[in-house]
Amino acid sequence: QIKDSATLTRDVLEQHFSDLKGTLKKLLDERLMSLLQEVDVIEQESIKPLDECQKLIEHGVSTADDLLREGESAVDGDVGQQNEKLCNFTKKALHIQLDSLPEVPSLVDVPCLSAQLDDCLLTVLKNQIFRHGTVASRPPVQLEEFVEKPGGILVRWCKVDEDFIPQDYRLQYRKSSASHFEDVYVGSETEFMVLHIDPNVDYQFRVCARGDGRQEWSPWSVPQTGRTSLVPHEWTTGLEGYSLSSRRNIALRNDSQSCGVLYSKAPTYFCGQTLTFRQVLFGIETVGQPDRRDSLGVCVEQRNGDDSLQRDKAVCISTNGAVFVNGKEMTNQLPAVTSGSTVTFDMEVVQLGPCSSEGGNFKLRVTISSNNREVVFDWVLDQCCGSLYFGCSFSYPGWKVLVF
């Protein structure tokens, strides 16, 4: 682990600084080009009036030189030609203003280009570069626990750096056969239920954190592998009163007048060799009109013809919060089920033995939780049950239930 992580860290640092050098060179080249273009513009705009002034002066000097040579020729000629040449010279000289010069800009008005380069940029860059990047020997958060769930994995993580104050966590996962991680959770909680997990397939997980008031994420935790051997919970198909999602883990009570109990496809809520039942979680996404016969719960067997789980060999909660055990309402009551509510069932075996003539040798300790309240009771059965069905029934349309 040390050698692999060190090699990976070297590669990341070398690639990052190589990219940084390329980007800095590109930015410096762009800035240089911009300044050179600015010099060209100032030079072209400033030299133009001076060039025009120079051309006027050179033209005047050339004209005066020609006139001078013409005067010398008139003086040096014979008498007959002198008078004519001197006459022409005089006329020409009167039309030429030899004492006229164009306005020449004063020296202070003529641009003098120079480059102003502040050495403090190097100091700023030097300070920033020397503080850029850190090497962490240990990430501030690490994965702590994987809990198998039907069709999912409950992932827990913890902070291992006491001086680190986390603001948010970021959990990623991928199939072991995939090349890239993908975000599955960003938030302040230290656990998350990852759904849509294929049974008996390895998944890799990693987590990082963002410090309080900071934008950048911490280094990733050491990737760890998790899997679930539990098949996903699914509602059974074919019941007219309910519409199911493609994964069959969401049931919607539709407008059909048909009623009845919607059961799970199989008794996937089971007791394994550990003698602890797996948890079934009902997530209420939308609600319809409540009815006293509504029910969410678990049962020993599917039974056609019933319109509720408020019967024998079943425990359930009604949408008004009433709890029923084998068809009898308990004194204790939970809050009413509303949109966004979660209802959980936890069970464990507290007594297991051969059934007597009076029965009652199979006892389950049941905990039903809803809206941060719970009831705990013993459910006595006359037979040993290795697995249980879950089910629901709603009299009116609009109820939407997710099970996992």
pLDDT in tens, 224-258: 999 999 888 899 999 999 999 998 999 999 999 88
- What is the full DSSP assignment across 142-172? EEEEEEEETTEEEEEEEE--TT--EEEEEEE
Residue-wise pLDDT tens digits, 149-159: 888 899 999 99
Q: What Å distances lie between residue 135 and 261, 347, 394, CA to CA? A: 59, 47, 57
Give domain status of residue 194, yes or no: yes
Query: b or e along 373-395 (b: 16 or more beta carbons within 10 Å of the residue's beta carbon)?
Result: eebeeebebeeebebbbbbbbbb
- Do 377 and 246 have their domain in common? yes
Q: Does residue 113 surpass a pLDDT of 70?
A: yes
Confidence tier at 82 by pLDDT (50, 70, 90): low
Tokens standing for 381? 């059965």
Residue-wise pLDDT tens digits, 302-318: 998 899 999 999 999 99
- Per-residue pLDDT at 275: 27
Confidence tier at 104 by pLDDT (50, 70, 90): low
- Do 55 and 85 have their domain in common? yes
Residue-wise pLDDT tens digits, 68-79: 777 777 777 666
Give domain status of residue 236, yes or no: no
Tokens standing for 392? 């629901």
- Do 269 and 378 have their domain in common? yes
- Per-residue pLDDT at 128: 87
Pairing of strands 280-286, 342-352: antiparallel
Task: Classify residue 217 by burial, with Cβ atoms within 10 Å: 0-12, 13-18, 19+.
Answer: middle
- Do 189 and 78 have their domain in common? no
Q: Does residue 324 surpass a pLDDT of 80?
A: yes
Q: Does residue 115 surpass a pLDDT of 60?
A: yes
Q: What Å distances lie between residue 177 and 180, 225, 232, CA to CA? A: 9, 12, 21
Most confidently modeled of 77-91, 132-146, 276-290?
132-146
Percent of the chain predicted with pLDDT > 70: 88
Of 77, 107, 131, the residue at which a domain comes to its end is 131
H/E stretch holding 380 = strand 373-381
- Per-residue pLDDT at 124: 87
Task: Report which DSSP code applies to 109.
Answer: G
Tokens standing for 249? 């883990």
- Do 355 and 222 have their domain in common? no
- CATH number for the domain that contains residue 158: 2.60.40.10
For the chain, the domain total comes to 3
Residue the block writes with tokens 């006892």: 363
Mean pLDDT of 167-178: 93
Q: Does residue 168 surpass a pLDDT of 90?
A: yes
- Per-residue pLDDT at 357: 44
Residue with the bigger pLDDT between 206 and 138: it is 206
- Per-residue pLDDT at 334: 93
Confidence tier at 121 by pLDDT (50, 70, 90): confident
Q: Does residue 353 surpass a pLDDT of 80?
A: no
- Do 279 and 218 have their domain in common? no
- Per-residue pLDDT at 276: 29
Question: Taking all residues of the chain, what is their mean pLDDT, rounded to a whole number?
Answer: 85
Of 228, 260, 275, the residue at which a domain comes to its end is 228
Which range of residues forms the domain containing residue 52?
1-131
Of 97, 131, 165, the residue at which a domain comes to its end is 131
- Per-residue pLDDT at 78: 64
- Per-residue pLDDT at 91: 73
Chain centroid offset of residue 82 CA: 101
Residue-wise pLDDT tens digits, 18-53: 999 999 999 999 999 999 999 998 888 888 777 777
